[in-house]
Structure 1
Amino acid sequence: MLRTAARRLLDRLPELTDDLVTKIREGDESYRAIVPADELWANAYEAMRVGIGAILQAPAERRDLAFAQQTARRRAEQGLPIESLQRTYRLGAQVTWNGFIDITAKDDPDDLPALLRTATHVWHAIDRQAVAAADAYRQRESELLGRSAERINALLDALLEGASEPALVSRAAAALDMPERGRYAVVTMRLPTRQDGDGETPRPDAIGRMRVLWRLRTDCEVAVVCLDEASLDELCAAMGPLLSGHAGVGPVVGGLAELGTARRLAALAMRTCAGDGPEIARLDRRLPSVLVVCQPELSGHLTEGVLGPVLALDPPDREVLLGTLETWLRCEGSAARAAGRLYCHRNTVFNRIRRIEQLTGRSLARPRDVVELTLALDAVRLLAVG
C-alpha cells in the first residue's frame, strides 16, 4: 500500500516541490540570502524524488542518504547555518507525509487507517536522512575551518617573515580581518619550559581596545597587536599578566607590510632580557643593548678592550666588581643608592669604582668612557663574553 502511494506521489513531484520551496524560503532568511531559488528548487525536487523513491527500493539500493550527505556538504560550503538545513528536513517530512495522506484519501480512502500505521516508517526514513546530513555538514564544516585556519596562519607567517607584496598584504588583510594600514606592534615571547600536565594558556583576541593575533612559532610565541590609539606603555602593561618569561616589543609600524621588520626587532629586544624571571623589553628603551647582541664579534672585542683586566680576576672578585659597576650605572652614579642595593657602605662603593677605573683605564666621570663601560658590561651579561 505504501509503495503504491509512493508511485502515485512521484507523479506530483513538481507540485510538492513548489510547496516545500515556498515553505523553506518564506520561513528562513538564510535560504533567501544564500541559496539561489533555482538551485533550491532543483535540489528539493531531487531530494524528494530520491527520498520517496527509497520506499520502492531495497535497503542496499537506497540513495537518499548519500544524496542528503552531498546536499549537506554543499550547504556547509555555502555557509548556510546547520539549523536552517535541519529545518528543511522537518518541512520535507511534513510535505511528504501530507502528500501520502492526500493521495490515499483521494484514491483509496479505506486504506487511510492502515496508512497511519506506516507513519513511523516514513518519519524514521526522513530522520535518518536528517542525521546523515547533519553529520556530513559538521565534517565538511570542520574541514573548511581547518583549511581556513591553515590559510590564515600561512598568510600571517608570510607577513612575519617580511613578505610585503601588495597583493599578498591585501589578501592577508581580508583573511585576518585587519586593516592594511594602521598602528601595529609585534610582541615576541620566549616559550616556557613546560612540565608534564601543563596545558595551553588561552590567549585573548583583544586586550583592552587592542586587537591581538597570536602565532606559535618554533622558538617563541608572537602577538601581532593592532594598537589603534593605544600606546606602547599601555601594551606593555596589558601584556604583563600574560608573561611567564622574557618578551620583546618592537617599534610601532604603519601597516601589515611592515610586520616582518617589527617581528625581527621585537626578537632582538627580547634577547636583551637577562635573568630567569618575567621581563618585557621595549626596543626603543634597549637600543644600546640591542646593538651589542646584533654584533657579538665586535662586542667581544669591545669587552676585551674595556673590561679585560676585570674579567681576568678570580671569579668572586670579578663578580663583585661587575655587580658594583652594574648597580652604579642603574643608580645613575649615586653611591648612596648603590650602597643601599648592595648592602654595603657608600665608601665601599667608591673604593670598588676607583678600582674598576684603575683596572680599565676608564673614568666614570667621562661620558664616552661611561658608554664604553655600559656596552661592555651588556656584552658580558647578554652574550656571556669573558
Structure 2
Amino acid sequence: MQRRPPVPEIAAMAQSLRPRLPELVVRATRRIRNEIDIYRPSGTVPEAVLRTSLRRNIDSMLAQFAGGSEPDLSEPGETGRQRAVQGVPLPDVLRAYRLGFAEVWTVLTEEASRRQVDPSVMVRAATDAWRLADEYSDALTAGYRRAAAELARAQERERSALTEALLSGRITDRGTLWEVAQTLGLPRKGPFVAVAAEATALGQEPLGDVKAQLAAHGIPSAWTLRPDLHIGIASLLRPDADDLTMNVLRRLATSRVGVSPAFASLDDTGQALRYARLAMNSQPAGTAEVVRFQDDPLTVVMAAAPEAASGIARKVMGPVLALDSDARALLLDTFQCWIDAAGNATATAQALHCHSNTVRYRLRKLEDLTGRSLQTPGDTAELVAALRAVRFLPGTATGSTTP
C-alpha cells in the first residue's frame, strides 16, 4: 500500500512525545489492567511483561507517526506470539492492543489541542492512524495464530507420545501414570478399554475423528497412530459408556477393529492392548468388523498362535482340504450351517435349501474323511476348531498362516 507523507504537525508532536514514553506506558498499563480481567494483577500476564511489550509497541507507533515510513510489524507480531504462549485469548489481546493504541491517540489529541492544531489536520491524521492500527492488529493476529498452531501441534505430539507410552506399557510408576492420565484427560480409575484398528494405508486413521465422536457422548479417550495401527484407550466410567463406545467404533470403522476386555487399572493398559490386537487379528483381513476379545475366544486364541491353528486345521481337516474347491466348500458350508443351527439337520436343510437327508449325507462324508464322529463331543470340538481355523486362515490349504 502506497503511503502518504506524514502530516508535519503530527510528525512533530509524535517526535516530541517520544521522551514521554515512560508516562505513556504507565497510562496504557493502568487502562488495560483496569478494563481487561486477564491483565489484572491476578491474571495471566505479569505487569512487567505488559510494560515491556507496551514500551516497544508504543515506541514503534510513535516512530511511525513521526516518520511515515513502512511500519515495523515485528513488535506486534512478537506480542501476538508471546500472548499465545501465555494462553491469553486472542480477543483479549486485540482489545488490549486497541486500548494501548487509543491511549497513544488520546495523548496526541491532547498535545494537538495544546498546540492549537487545525482540526482538519487531525481528521486526516486519524485516517492514517487507524489504518496503522489495523495493520498492527493484523500482524499481532498473524503472530498469535502461528504460535497457537505450533503449540497445538506440539501438544498433539506430546499427547500422542504419552498415549503410545501408556498403551505400550512403558509407564510403570503409579504417580507417573496418574500424571499422564491427567494430561490426556483420562480419569485415574477404570473401567477402561483398549482399542486397536488396522491402518491399511500409511498415515491413515481408520477410525477417523473417534476422539471427538466419543467426547460428544461424554467419553474421554486418547489415541495415537502407528504405521500399521490406530490405537487408543477409552474410559467407561459412565454407565452406558460400553454400548456407546461400541456403537461409535462400529459406525466409524473402515478396517478390522479389536476391543480389549474392560480393565480397572491403568497399569494393565499394555496387556489390554495386546488383547485388543488379538481380537483385531481374529477377523479376516479386508473386513471392517469390530470385535471384542471376549466375543469370540476360540478365534482370538487362533489369532495368538496362527501357525498352531493352521496345524490343527491340516491335521483334522486334511482329507477335506485335499478335495477340489467346490466339494470342499460344500462340506465346510454344510458343517458351518449345522453348527449355526445347533446341530439340527432340519434347520440346516432349510438354510441350505436342500433335503435334510442331503445334510446328513454330507455330514457322514465329513465324518468318514476326517475319521471323527459328530456324536462324540471331543471329536466335534476338534472339528469345530479346525473349521474355525480354516475360516480364519483362508490360506491354510496352501500353507499360508497370515490372518
Question: What corresponds to 2:103 in structure 1?
Answer: 95
Distance 1:364 1:193 in 2: 44
Question: What corresponds to 1:78 in structure 2?
Answer: 86
2:329 corresponds to 1:332: no
Letter in 2 for 1:125: L
2:238 corresponds to 1:226: no
Q: Is the 8 A contact 1:210 1:230 kept in 2?
A: no
Deviation at 1:202, TM superposition (A): 4.4
Question: What corresponds to 1:14 in structure 2?
Answer: 22
2:164 corresponds to 1:153: no
How far does the alpha carbon of each residue in 1:61-102 deviate from its partner, in whole angstroms, 9 at most, with x for none? x54x21111111100100111111111222122211111121
Distance 1:47 1:290 in 2: 65
Distance 2:184 2:377 in 1: 48
How far does the alpha carbon of each residue in 1:201-243 deviate from its partner, in whole angstroms, 9 at most, with x for none? 5441336453344444433433432111346455434433323
- Runs of at least 4 residues off by over 6 Å: none
Question: Comparing 91-100 with 160-169, which one deviates more in the overlay?
Answer: 160-169
Question: What corresponds to 1:211 in structure 2?
Answer: 220
Q: Is the 8 A contact 2:207 2:252 kept in 1?
A: no
Deviation at 1:288, TM superposition (A): 1.4
TM norm structure 1: 0.88
Distance 1:274 1:23 in 2: 67
Of 127, 131, 136, 2:138 maps to 131
Of 369, 384, 395, 1:374 maps to 384
Question: What corresponds to 2:39 in structure 1?
Answer: 31
Distance 2:308 2:244 in 1: 35
C-alpha spacing 1:78/1:233, structure 2 compared with 1 (3 Å):
closer
Question: What corresponds to 2:76 in structure 1?
Answer: 68
Q: Tell me the SS of whatever aligns to 1:221.
A: strand
Question: What corresponds to 2:190 in structure 1?
Answer: 182
Question: Comparing 159-168 with 371-380, which one deviates more in the overlay?
Answer: 159-168
Aligned length: 379
Q: Is the 8 A contact 1:190 1:245 kept in 2?
A: yes
C-alpha spacing 1:45/1:245, structure 2 compared with 1 (3 Å):
closer
How far does the alpha carbon of each residue in 1:86-132 deviate from its partner, in whole angstroms, 9 at most, with x for none? 112221222111111212322x2155543443222223223221211
Question: What corresponds to 2:150 in structure 1?
Answer: 143
Of 263, 284, 296, 2:306 maps to 296
Deviation at 1:58, TM superposition (A): 6.6
Question: What corresponds to 2:53 in structure 1?
Answer: 43
Q: Tell me the SS of whatever aligns to 1:336.
A: helix
Letter in 1 for 2:351: R
User: Once superposed, what is the RMSD of the aligned Cα atoms?
Assistant: 2.7
C-alpha spacing 1:119/1:200, structure 2 compared with 1 (3 Å):
farther
2:396 corresponds to 1:385: yes
Q: Is the 8 A contact 1:8 1:103 kept in 2?
A: no
Distance 1:277 1:300 in 2: 20
C-alpha spacing 1:40/1:184, structure 2 compared with 1 (3 Å):
same
C-alpha spacing 1:2/1:332, structure 2 compared with 1 (3 Å):
same
Letter in 1 for 2:165: A
Deviation at 1:187, TM superposition (A): 2.8
Distance 1:186 1:93 in 2: 53
